[in-house]
Structure formats: structure tokens, C-alpha cells
Amino acid sequence: MTERMAMRAADEATPALMVDLRTLDRNISGMAEFARRAGVQLRPHAKTHKTAEGARRQIDAGARGLCVATVGEAESFADAGFSDLFIAYPLFADQARARRLAALAERTRLRVGVDSPEGATALGRAASSSPFQVLVEIDCGHHRSGVIPAAAAAVADAASRAGLEVIGVFTFPGHGYGPSMPARAARDEAAALEEATTRLEAAGHAVAVRSGGSTPTARHAVSDVVTELRPGVYIFNDAQQVALGTCPPQDVALSARSTVVSAPVPGRIVVDAGSKVLGADRPAWVPGHGLLRDVAEATITSLSEHHGVVAVAAGRPAPRVGDIVQVIPNHVCTAVNLVDELIVTSCGAVVDRWRVRARGRNA
Amino acid sequence: MTERMAMRAADEATPALMVDLRTLDRNISGMAEFARRAGVQLRPHAKTHKTAEGARRQIDAGARGLCVATVGEAESFADAGFSDLFIAYPLFADQARARRLAALAERTRLRVGVDSPEGATALGRAASSSPFQVLVEIDCGHHRSGVIPAAAAAVADAASRAGLEVIGVFTFPGHGYGPSMPARAARDEAAALEEATTRLEAAGHAVAVRSGGSTPTARHAVSDVVTELRPGVYIFNDAQQVALGTCPPQDVALSARSTVVSAPVPGRIVVDAGSKVLGADRPAWVPGHGLLRDVAEATITSLSEHHGVVAVAAGRPAPRVGDIVQVIPNHVCTAVNLVDELIVTSCGAVVDRWRVRARGRNA
């Protein structure tokens, strides 16, 4: 620990994203233990934390590899020494991206998503020098990317023709992000993966991997179908997960340390955490633009870039100008992507700083 | 121009934020010319572009100085040689921030916002070694920070007692961000600044500066009240400004170059520009999560971190997997803050790369 790190959390400039290490470690070990008992592989989505330190702790707790969203994230984690990577995304490999994928495949155990014949053909160019495996993306109800199960075999056939090794199917049950939706989305996930498997096997493809999962659906996953889970948010949790009932507020490991900068009228305060540190995600079912820890009956009613406007219920004690408050972001993945480092604390002391090494690695 | 820069825009990896230099220069000169004719000072908000190159062009076109939102942004622009800075924000100066403000005041002509007696007292600590000027923030209808005009004199009195030089008042007419709202918000701005001026003068404070403005309200500003305008977005414009009628789409100088990665069912395509490059701002009055240039009757119906889901009207030609499309972000300030550099183009060639030097400088 350097002298620079041996500081009090109370000395950090606001706004800043602070991680409580004990809560984070409890979240990591809890999900690892769940996956072990369920008999499924755990492949955490590293887009959430984008740090080598977070990934190392996940692997040490039993995760088999990492999931990422982009070639740039894969490069960042490969540079940090992680060698089992799944880019769970239907990449389109133009020539430059094909070269980068081939270079990654030379130094890692690489898997990539595919959901179209055109995408498969382009990926084939990348795999001609250094082979890698692909999984066909299935839409289980989120209606984003991914084909319906009935169309999976055509994609797998195109991938085989392009020289790619098809090893399975994957899906993201993103429609589980809604009140009362996680259990249903997990059932949809299992049904879609099962039907796609049947289709692929009928077309002569072996299906070794059926990959699913997300933080809200993971513990509802049907483990005799799903062989691998890819939750991301669980390492920190966030206000969305609290609203979904995935976790209680005390299981949220990250919050934005913020200063009350304005209290212009009774019942309204303004904090210096805005959308440039919290992110702007705000589903209708989340009660506000973030959650204030330790302030009762307070709602973040709007965010500007550097302002969080808070309504405090009449008659409740409101924080005063200069006070420090902790804000839990609605969606931690987009919050972390806004900062260069996470300030890691334990018992009020800053014990480490983790570089958000894959921040902004969108391409 | 280095060899690395002498590239075709078509060779850039997606997603990436691309700036059309001629449109940007037209936007800069247009606002500068408007301010000159109206007889008001122009102090562009540099939080939008966060680049030295953008700021230099604004100053060269006649802007008198820069507006910023945070001490970190002020430090970044001071490091780049800009010496007339207004932090238009009700800063709360703890000891560390007071030291940083004092250091800034030593090397720049610094102005800072204040909207509470507590904030004024704290700022006074910073100003004791290197004096700087303050403006009292007024709420003209946006209901964020800023006091009502009737409360302005109490804040100014506290600032004077703290040893600060009060030179005027400022407001942000943010309620102008709504259909048919810009002209009304500009009138509210003038009325609030005028009343606050009367109150301050009655209390013995000289009011040399009445600062207002935002991109949608700037051209409606009442210039016999307002002495200074602080628009930010106009340098690029964005989908919000198009929806408000502030500018036509051809005046938008920045868009996200994106690849179509998936076309899983007729009528739906997915591009690789998601909320981690476009930002997640989505007011109800904006038609989607960004605007697709050159694709008729297409709506971005949802964003994930790395997916933009696009609905294409039946019977219209849809882009195919592998095609390149340009996406205009809803709110350019939050998009720019997500990337490390802007790729500057002219006539299809990459002519420069501007480092987003104040990216993430939230504190």
C-alpha cells in the first residue's frame, strides 16, 4: 500500500465512485458458490467493472473465464493476463477487426458470438489464420440481437461453411429487467436455448455450451439446460437490482460519494453527482435517478450532467450544504465507464485504487 | 498532419465519434456573429467539447472566455492556456477544493458561482490568498440550483462578508429544453436576472454581469438584460436540438460512425452504437434514442450499452449487416464525455484527432 493510498475515504474529492471491498468480495463469493451448487460454469461479464482486479477476484473465486462485449475489452483483459474470453456479441469483422480477432485468438482461448450468415462469413476471414470458436446468439424474448431458435441452424451452417467451429448457443434474457420479470425471463431463456439446441443438433452441430444469465435472472436459471452463466452487475449491484428485488441495499458495493452543493428552497437539495458520474439510465420502474443511502424519504427527481436534484419529504431532516451523501447509481455498468479509477475502501480507509482499464473500449 | 492522420474516415473502427469540421466551424462562427450583433459577450460552455482545439476556435471567433462546470474542467483548460474561466456552478469548497481554486485564481481570471451563505463562506477560504469574483446563481424556472431572485441579496451579502467580490448574477434556463419552451424560458431568464439585479443593487451590490443562455434559448435572449451568453451544445448540435427546432439535421457536426451488426428479423436492425458511446439521455419529446442519418423512417427504439435497436418501417430499404450508418446522439455533451478522442473529418478524410482532455473531470 503506497502512502497515497493510505487515506481516509473522507478525504476524497467529490463526486467519486467508491467501492466497499467487503461487500464486493461477499457478492463475488456468493455468486461463485451459487454457480458451484447449481453445477453451471460461471463466466462473469467484465464490462461491469472493467478492472483487472475485479476480474482476478472473480477467477480466484472459481469463475472459468470472462465475458466481454467488444474486441477492445477483450484486448484490455488479454493484456492483463486473462486468457479465456467470450465476446458475447454478434461482431461484424471488417478487415481491421478481423486482424485484431486473429491476434487475440493467438494468445487467448477465444469465443465469439454470431447471429447472421453475413457475420459468420466475415468472422471466417479472421479465423482463417488463428481458429476460434463461435456460439450462435438466440433471442429469448429481449428482442435485441440474436435469432429466433428456428433460425439458429441456418446461422450455424453458415458459420461452419466459413470455417468456424460452432460449440453452442447463447442468449441474454434482458427482458428480465422489469418488475416480476426475472423468473419468467429465466424460463424463456431455458426454453429458447433448449429449442435452439434441438435445431442445431438436428442439423448436425454438437452443442456443448448453452450460455445464459444476467444478474436478475441468474438465480432463477434452469440449470439442467444452462451450462454457463454470464452475470455482470452482481459484483457491485445497483439501484436497478434493489428495485428488482435481486438484492437488498446493503449488498450494493459501489456508490458515488457526493457533496450537497445547493439547498435553494425547503424540500430540495442538489448534490454534485449528476449523469456524468452516475450515468443516465432510468427505467420507469426504478424510483428515481439513483438511491440516496442514509437519507430517509428522499428521491433523486432529475439529473443534469453535474447536478442531482433531490426532493426530501416535508418534515424530514434534509442534508445541508457541504454535507456528504452516498448515491447508488441506477445502472452500475454505465457509471463505472465514466471514471478512470474506482476508489476501494474498507472500514472508512482507502485501501486501493483500481484502474478502469477497459473504460471507453467500445470498438 | 501525421501519416497516422492521413486516413479515410471509412477506415475508422466503429463505434467512434466523428466531427465534420466545416459544420463545426459554421456553428462556431454563426453563434459568434449572433452574439456580436446582439451586443452580448459570448462565453461558450466548454463541457460540451472538452477539447483545447474546440475552445481555441471559439475564442478565435470572438468568444471572451470559457464557461466550465467543475474545478477539474477549469484546471484542464487552464493547463491548455485558457485564462478567462467561469465555473458556472455553486461550488462547495472543502479544504482541498479551496486550495485548488486558489491555485487556479493565481494563474487565470477566475469567476465562480455561489447560491448559498454556506457556499459563500467556504469559497471565502479559497479566496483569502488569491481573490476571485463570484456571480450569484438565480433560478429562473428550471428548479435545479440557484436561488429565487428575492433571495439573491442574502447570498450576495454573505459572499461580501466572506471577502468575495460579487460582480453579477447568472442563471441557466434549462426549462427551455422542451417543445415550444425556448422563447418562454428566455423571457423567464431575462425577468429573473432583472429582478435579481434590482435586489442586489438595492442591497448595495454592483451588477456588471448578467449571464444566461443555453443553445436553445440563446437566440431568444433579451439582450438589453443579458450581458453574457453561455451556450455549449451549439458547437456540435444534437438530436435534442433538432427536435427543439434549434437547428436542422445538416447543422449537426458530430455523429457516431456505427456498424450494423445484426438484422435478426425483418424491420429490425441492430447497430454497435449503444449507450456507452451515445449516452442514455432520452427526454420524452425526442423521437428515439438518437437519429439515424440517411436511413428513412427508422427509429432507434432502445439502447443497451453496445446495441442500438432500430425499427425500420415496413417496405423501406433497411441497411444490411456490415453496412455503416451514422447516428446523431440525443445529447452530445454526454456522448463526448464517453470517448478519449474525437475524429475530425473533412470531405471524407480524417484531418485531425482532438483529445477530449477534460473527459471525466467531474471533481
Q: pLDDT per residue over A121-147, tens digit each? A: 999 988 888 889 999 999 999 999 999
Among candidate residues B80, B74, B76, B162, the one with its CA nearest the CA of residue B117: B162
CA distance A118 to A129: 19
pTM over 0.95: yes
| pLDDT score for A251 | 98
Dump pLDDT digits (tens) for A349-362.
999 999 999 999 99
CA distance A85 to B10: 29
User: In the predicted model, what is the mean pLDDT of chain A?
Assistant: 96
Q: Which of A139, A268, A280 sits opposite B334 (nearest CB)?
A: A280
SS3 B153: helix
Whole-number Cα distances in Å, A254 to A25, A217, A287, A337: 12, 21, 18, 13
Cell triple for B6: 492521413
* Residue B56 CA from chain centroid, whole number: 16
Question: Given an 8 Å threshold on Cβ–Cβ distance, is A259 in contact with B94?
Answer: yes
Low-confidence ranges of chain B (pLDDT < 70): 1-6
Cβ-proximal residues to A204 (8 Å cutoff; 6+ apart), any chain: none
Distance from CA of B118 to the nearest CA of A (A): 6
Contacts of A338 in chain B (CB under 8 A): 337-338, 360, 362
Strands B349-355 and B7-8: antiparallel
Strands B291-293 and B324-328: antiparallel
Question: Given an 8 Å threshold on Cβ–Cβ distance, is A11 in contact with B96?
Answer: yes
| pLDDT score for B10 | 87
Q: What is the mean pLDDT of residues A280-295?
A: 95
Strand order of the β-sheet with B41-42 is B41-42, B228-229, B209-212, B165-171, B133-138, B109-114, B84-90, B66-68
Question: Given an 8 Å threshold on Cβ–Cβ distance, is A146 in contact with B262?
Answer: yes
CA distance B337 to B339: 6
Distance from CA of A37 to the nearest CA of B (A): 31
CA distance B13 to A356: 21
| pLDDT score for B3 | 47
Dump pLDDT digits (tens) for A173-221.
999 999 999 999 999 999 999 999 999 999 999 999 999 999 999 999 9
| A161 φ/ψ angles, rounded to the nearest 5 degrees | -60, -35
Question: Given an 8 Å threshold on Cβ–Cβ distance, is B118 in contact with A151?
Answer: no
CA distance B191 to A287: 34
CA distance A361 to B305: 12
With contact defined as beta carbons under 8 Å apart, do A240 and A290 qualify?
no
User: Which of A136, A144, A357 is best to mutate for the B interface (most B CBs within 10 A)?
Assistant: A144
If one counts every other C-beta atom within 10 angstroms of the C-beta of residue A22, the result is: 11
For A309-326, give one letter per residue: b (16+ CB within 10 A) or e: bbbbeeeeebbebbbbbb
CA distance B324 to B269: 12
CA distance B233 to A341: 28
CA distance B39 to B35: 6
If one counts every other C-beta atom within 10 angstroms of the C-beta of residue B317, the result is: 9
| pLDDT score for B315 | 86
Q: What is the mean pLDDT of residues A15-41?
A: 98
Question: Given an 8 Å threshold on Cβ–Cβ distance, is A363 in contact with B174?
Answer: no
With contact defined as beta carbons under 8 Å apart, do A131 and A105 qualify?
yes
Place of cell 453579477: B168
Contacts of A281 in chain B (CB under 8 A): 275, 280
pLDDT at A4 over 80: no
pLDDT at A248 over 70: yes
Q: Which residue has the higher pLDDT, A317 or A162?
A: A162
User: Which of A17, A276, A278, A343 is best to mutate for the B interface (most B CBs within 10 A)?
Assistant: A276
What residue in B sits closest to A87 (Cα-Cα)? Answer: B306
Q: What is the mean pLDDT of residues A236-258?
A: 97
Give percent of chain A above pLDDT 70.
98
Q: How sure is the predictor about A10, in pLDDT bands with cuts at 50, 70 and 90?
A: confident
CA distance B170 to A264: 15
pLDDT at A159 over 90: yes
Question: Given an 8 Å threshold on Cβ–Cβ distance, is A264 in contact with B92?
Answer: no
Distance from CA of B241 to the nearest CA of A (A): 16
Distance from CA of A268 to the nearest CA of B (A): 9
Torsion sign, CA atoms A274, A276, A277, A278: positive
Supply the ipTM of this predicted assembly.
0.96
Place of cell 481458429: A131
Sequence letter at residue B11: D
Chain A and chain B share a number of CB contacts under 8 A equal to: 175
With contact defined as beta carbons under 8 Å apart, do B62 and B287 qualify?
no
| pLDDT score for B38 | 97
| pLDDT score for B4 | 52
Helix B95-107 / helix B71-79 crossing angle, nearest 10 deg: 30
With contact defined as beta carbons under 8 Å apart, do A293 and A249 qualify?
yes
User: Which of B100, B112, B144 is best to mutate for the A interface (most A CBs within 10 A)?
Assistant: B144
Cβ-proximal residues to B5 (8 Å cutoff; 6+ apart), any chain: B350, B351, B352, B353
Question: Given an 8 Å threshold on Cβ–Cβ distance, is A270 in contact with B144?
Answer: yes
Q: Which of A11, A147, A261 sits opposite B145 (nearest CB)?
A: A261
Q: Which residue has the higher pLDDT, A7 or A203?
A: A203
Distance from CA of A139 to the nearest CA of B (A): 9
Question: Given an 8 Å threshold on Cβ–Cβ distance, is B69 in contact with A306?
Answer: yes
Distance from CA of B37 to the nearest CA of A (A): 31
Cβ-proximal residues to B118 (8 Å cutoff; 6+ apart), any chain: A320, A321, A322, B92
Question: Given an 8 Å threshold on Cβ–Cβ distance, is B264 in contact with A139?
Answer: yes
